[in-house]
């Protein structure tokens, strides 16, 4: 049975153009989505843009545009960027979509009917908010959350004091229900240390949160049924979070297709089942989503987000879902930040040498420009290979150039061009028919071939396992083990010498076949990360089909005499980047993909 995989990213604010931090998350999601598609899972990959709120309204004003015209234009810069980077989503949602707006109003209606799990009070009430608001975070701030200078530590700005009538969501009463769920489902928040952080936060006590704001016309109006709600718009976070459901058609039942999974699908027995959910909603009534479903269902949604917004996703979102009677997502995976080295002048004296790349700090790297200069796949490779999944990662031109030259140009690029050239020179581009590993007289050569085949066998198990377990850097490291063993084998076997001696044809053919098979496998393993380059390599290898379609036996090592085929012309897959020229902005040679 094909499995189902529903993956979402955070939807980006459109007050500026996409930067490398946004791109990192989308490339990570795209790599995972491609991995799942490649192995045959029915996959739905959702991304989009977050278009309401004060911050956007102000950016539109500064640009001298109406908010709708402004967001129409800005959201296209994200669409275009993801196209350039090969981010192949299935759906792009914008929170200014009419269908999304209607769904958000329905959520507010449901919340206004819900009762809290602990005291049975209405989940929504009207009250006065007196406090601080950081526009950068689009969030209310407690004094404790500010730095010594009274600023938001993230945006380095003092939040504004506000006093206004808001509708509140009684989040304070959802602590027990949330803790119970998190304890019962350790996979709900990943990596593990992020779960601990969230649990400590909840144990420290939750405060009720505002879910509407008055006098902010750029947002979704509260539905008329909510008494006293005239003139209020929904606070941007509930609005934005609901995208994960509204995109699937919620509140219509069709949303279950991706939100839920059946027995044996990725949600698996660890995820919330419909029978446990009845207890979890804290109200003794089954969630609307479960009503009438015969077969046991599991939750299936996988949210990929950055660490600055884990609270919203790991606390507010599940609490709202509990109140609205919707099964919780299967997992929130919290990734780290792309950091830059601080320019010395800007060192805030806090001892750290790195800082987050962000619009508010004005230190952003443009991913579209990087892709145009060095190739989208080189950028994708750096983001996935050089940054351990889940952790923070530094970005600089020096690190990027060094990493790509070492692993792409010198290791994989070199292996493929040497191999393909040798096949052209020795066999007029046709695959050799010889296969006799014992023909190598030198035991060191035989040993190197055995090491290569062992590395390929190990990678065939480890690569899919590591992608599946969100260790994307390990998946690539394991694939590159095979590349390195292959290069070592070339150095030992010296096929260019074998080619000069007609009596050593068997050794030559065997060596080339081992290298061709390694390249075929690497094209499959690396495809989720660097799809365009792997497809190019696949074509040069003269293989039928595409690397994204190889699964099961077709994705396992098959060293031996290959079915006869003709190779394409050798190409330089990854041109070496000259750091000096790159730093001075001189255009680099080579293909754009
Ligand atoms: N609009 C909200 C998300 C709503 S989701 C229901 C938002 N937008 S954002 O544009 O500020 O950030 C979008 C995503 O990019 C977040 O997951 C955020 O963590 C991520 N990144 C923004 N800067 C980043 C880095 N420097 N590094 C890595 N990712 C970071 O938050």
Contact 467, 475 (CB under 8 A): yes
Nearest partner of 381 among 492, 300, 240, 475, judged by Cα: 475
Asked whether 55 lines ligand 1 (CB < 6 A), one says: no
Tell the residue nearest (CA) to atom 6 of ligand 1.
241
Question: Strand, coil or helix: what is 83?
Answer: helix
Asked whether 242 lines ligand 1 (CB < 6 A), one says: no
pTM to 2 decimals? 0.93
CA distance 399 to 337: 16
Contact 351, 200 (CB under 8 A): no
The 8 Å CB, 24+ separation contacts for 240-243 are: 240/11, 240/50, 240/52, 240/95, 241/312, 241/313, 241/316, 241/317, 241/320, 242/100, 242/103, 242/104, 242/107, 243/8, 243/11, 243/46, 243/48, 243/50, 243/93, 243/95, 243/100
Q: Bridge-partner residues for 50, per DSSP?
A: 13
Cα–ligand 1 centroid distance for 132 (angstroms) = 22
Atom of ligand 1 nearest to the CA of 359: 23
Tell the residue nearest (CA) to atom 9 of ligand 1.
12
Out of 36, 356, 411, 473, which one is annotated catalytic? 356
564-576 burial: b if 16+ Cβ within 10 Å, else e:
eeebbebbebbbb
> pLDDT of the chain along its 593 residues, tens only?
568 899 999 999 999 999 999 999 999 999 999 999 999 999 999 999 999 999 999 999 999 999 999 999 999 999 999 999 999 999 999 999 999 999 999 999 999 988 998 898 999 999 998 889 998 888 888 888 899 999 998 888 999 999 988 999 999 999 999 999 899 889 999 999 999 999 999 999 999 999 999 988 899 999 999 999 999 999 999 999 999 999 999 988 788 889 887 766 666 555 566 655 554 443 434 444 455 556 667 788 999 999 999 999 999 999 999 888 888 899 999 999 999 987 664 545 556 678 888 877 778 899 999 999 999 999 999 999 999 999 999 999 999 999 999 999 999 999 999 999 999 999 999 999 999 999 999 999 999 999 999 999 999 999 999 999 999 999 999 999 999 999 999 999 999 999 999 999 999 999 999 999 999 999 999 999 999 999 999 999 999 999 999 999 999 999 999 999 999 999 999 999 999 888 887 666 554 44
Tell the residue nearest (CA) to atom 19 of ligand 1.
306
Cα–ligand 1 centroid distance for 290 (angstroms) = 32
Asked whether 240 lines ligand 1 (CB < 6 A), one says: yes
pLDDT at 264: 67
Q: Bridge-partner residues for 393, per DSSP?
A: 338
Q: Where are the alpha helices (DSSP H) in 114-254?
A: 175-184, 192-203, 236-241, 243-246
Cα–ligand 1 centroid distance for 21 (angstroms) = 7
User: In 10 A of CB 491, how many CB atoms?
Assistant: 10
Cα–ligand 1 centroid distance for 18 (angstroms) = 10
In the residue annotation, 19 being an active-site residue is answered as yes
In the residue annotation, 256 being an active-site residue is answered as no
Out of 134, 256, 404, 534, which one is annotated catalytic? 134
């Amino acid at each position: 049975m094909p499995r189902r995989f529903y993956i979402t990213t955070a939807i980006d604010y459109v007050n500026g153009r996409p930067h490398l931090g946004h791109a990192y998350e989308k490339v990570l999601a795209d790599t995972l989505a491609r991995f799942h598609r490649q192995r045959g899972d029915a996959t739905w990959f959702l991304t989009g843009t977050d278009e309401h709120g004060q911050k956007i309204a102000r950016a539109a004003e500064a640009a001298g545009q109406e908010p709708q015209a402004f967001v129409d234009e800005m959201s296209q810069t994200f669409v275009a960027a993801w196209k350039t980077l090969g981010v192949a989503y299935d759906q792009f949602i914008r929170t200014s979509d009419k269908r999304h707006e209607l769904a958000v109003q329905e959520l507010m209606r449901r919340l206004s009917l819900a009762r809290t799990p602990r005291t049975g009070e209405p989940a929504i009430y009207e009250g006065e908010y007196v406090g601080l608001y950081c526009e950068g975070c689009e969030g209310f701030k407690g004094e404790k959350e500010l730095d010594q200078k009274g600023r938001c530590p993230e945006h380095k700005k003092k939040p504004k004091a506000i006093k206004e009538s808001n509708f509140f969501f009684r989040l304070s009463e959802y602590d027990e229900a949330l803790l119970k769920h998190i304890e019962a489902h350790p996979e709900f928040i990943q990596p593990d240390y992020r779960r601990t952080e969230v649990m400590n936060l909840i144990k420290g006590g939750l405060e009720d949160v505002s879910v509407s704001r008055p006098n902010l016309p750029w947002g979704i109006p509260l539905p008329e049924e909510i008494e006293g709600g005239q003139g209020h718009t929904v606070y941007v976070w509930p609005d934005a979070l609901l995208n994960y459901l509204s995109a699937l058609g919620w509140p219509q039942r069709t949303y279950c297709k991706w939100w839920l999974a059946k027995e044996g699908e990725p949600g698996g027995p660890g995820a919330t089942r419909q029978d446990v959910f009845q207890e979890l909603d804290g109200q003794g009534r089954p969630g609307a989503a479960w009503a009438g479903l015969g077969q046991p269902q599991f939750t299936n949604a996988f949210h990929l987000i950055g660490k600055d917004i884990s609270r919203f996703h790991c606390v507010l979102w599940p609490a709202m879902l509990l109140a609205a009677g919707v099964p919780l997502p299967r997992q929130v995976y919290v990734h780290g930040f792309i950091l830059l080295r601080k320019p010395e002048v800007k060192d805030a004296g806090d001892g750290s040498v790195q800082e987050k790349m962000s619009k508010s700090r004005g230190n952003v790297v443009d991913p579209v420009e990087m892709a145009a200069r060095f190739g989208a796949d080189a950028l994708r490779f750096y983001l996935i290979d050089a940054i351990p999944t889940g952790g923070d990662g530094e970005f600089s031109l020096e690190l990027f150039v060094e990493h790509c030259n070492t692993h792409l140009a010198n290791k994989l690029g070199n292996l493929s061009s040497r191999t393909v050239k040798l096949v052209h020179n020795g066999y007029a581009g046709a695959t050799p028919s010889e296969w006799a590993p014992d023909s190598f007289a030198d035991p060191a050569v035989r040993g190197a071939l055995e090491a290569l085949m062992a590395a390929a066998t190990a990678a065939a198990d480890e690569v899919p396992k590591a992608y599946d377990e969100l260790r994307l850097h390990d998946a690539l490291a394991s694939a590159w083990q095979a590349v390195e063993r292959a290069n070592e084998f070339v150095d030992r076997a010296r096929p260019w010498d074998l080619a000069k001696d007609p009596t050593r044809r068997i050794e030559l053919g065997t060596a080339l076949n081992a290298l061709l098979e390694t390249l075929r496998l690497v094209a499959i393993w690396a495809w989720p990360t660097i799809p365009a380059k792997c497809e190019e390599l696949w074509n040069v290898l003269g293989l039928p089909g595409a690397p994204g379609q190889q699964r099961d036996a077709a994705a396992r090592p098959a060293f031996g005499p290959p079915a006869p085929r003709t190779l394409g012309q050798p190409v330089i897959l990854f041109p070496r980047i000259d750091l000096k020229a790159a730093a001075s902005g001189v255009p680099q040679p080579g293909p754009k993909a």
